[in-house]
Amino acid sequence: MYAVVKTGGKQYRVSTGTKIKVEQLSAEIGAEVTLDQVLMIAEDGAIKLGTPLLSGAAVTAKVLSQGRGDKVKIYKMRRRKHYRKSQGHRQNFTELEITNIAS
């Protein structure tokens, strides 16, 4: 059994027991989070699709950690103009473990 959920503007395929890193959620470590934007649920070959969301479906997850991703380096340069700009970015994330998929 797996589901496709939407959070943080992205879609994730999840099943019970999987760990995913999503955009930062405001929740404490160890808290239960409910992801209610479920787009699809597949169970034993039967697929339920939402238009666009499934009503009454929810995925519960446990917050494992809050962190920051790897640094992405941004470098801009204009040749012959003596323009060079270097910048870095680290995106915040929340690591979740899926505990239950309710249809």
The per-residue pLDDT for range 91-100, each reduced to its tens digit, is 999 999 999 9
> How far apart are the C-alpha atoms of 62 and 103, rounded to whole Å?
18
Along the chain (103 residues), what's the average pLDDT of each consecutive run of 10 residues? 95 96 96 96 93 94 97 98 98 97 90
**What pLDDT sits at residue 71?**
98
Where exactly are the structural domains of the chain? 2-102
> How far apart are the C-alpha atoms of 14 and 33, rounded to whole Å?
14
**What pLDDT sits at residue 103?**
83
